[in-house]
Chain A
Amino acid sequence: QVQLVESGGGVVQPGKSLRLSCAASGFTFSSYGIHWVRQAPGKGLEWVAVIWYDGSNKYYADSVKGRFTISRDNSKNTLYLQMNSLRAEDTAVYYCARAPTTQWTSVDVWGQGTTVTVSS
């Protein structure tokens, strides 16, 4: 079945870096755009970034622009989020989420999320 599995979360100090991964299975990964969406504890959903199916376009939320980088390796069916200069306000559950082929601006499948805690 269609599945997205995030990994790489953990506790990290402010100013440090962390890389999240999202392993896809059950569908042709190279045909789909993928988003990262996060949710701070007790808060709502916040869109982070999106990458097109072929990696040709990437877009970011203003809150992470210049600090986070989204990338993908279609040969490994894996999405990444490199997070640099982390701040306390980046603490959240990070979800990878697939965009339908007909509308890259929405989500049709969500992963279960990985938790990132930024704390000294």
Chain B
Amino acid sequence: NFMLTQPHSVSESPGKTVTISCTRSSGSIASNYVQWYQQRPGSAPTPVIYEDNQRPSGVPDRFSGSIDSSSNSASLTISGLKTEDEADYYCQSYDSNNWGVVFGGGTKLTVL
């Protein structure tokens, strides 16, 4: 079994760029796709990135995803920050050793 570790919180100013990391504790980050979900307060999550770097329709291109095998981590980058981007963000992958879905602990993004 592996864990996905995210920073507890990040903050940045409107118009700037922020990157949220998601580090896999064991096994290769590249071995299973990584997804990212946005959850605004009081709402259900919504997907913003799937299959490492693909954007669902309707998600602005300010959102991008990548993986880095050297650090065994995935990243979500949001450029041109808007106040509406303030939310919790969760990474998610799959553990093929036990047929389980794994979520990161979540990162609270504050846009101030």
Contact = CB atoms under 8 A, between A and B. Distances in A.
Most B CB atoms within 10 A — which of A44, A50, A103? Answer: A44
* Band of interface residues on A: 20 to 34
SS class of chain B's interface: helix, strand, loop or mixed? strand
B103 A110 contact: no
Contacts of A46: 103
Contact of B35 (A37, A95, A107): A107
Interface in B89-105: 90, 92-94, 98-105
Interface in B74-112: 88, 90, 92-94, 98-106
* Band of interface residues on B: 20 to 34
A110 B101 contact: no
Interface string A85-120: 000000000010000100101111011110000000
Contacts of B105: 44
A61 interface: yes
A106 B33 contact: yes
Given A47-B100, A50-B101, A110 B46 contact: yes
Contact of A95 (B44, B94, B106): B44
A105 B33 contact: yes
Interface of A: 35, 37, 44-47, 50, 59, 61-62, 95, 100, 103, 105-108, 110-113
Interface of B: 32-33, 35, 37, 39, 44-47, 50-51, 56, 88, 90, 92-94, 98-106
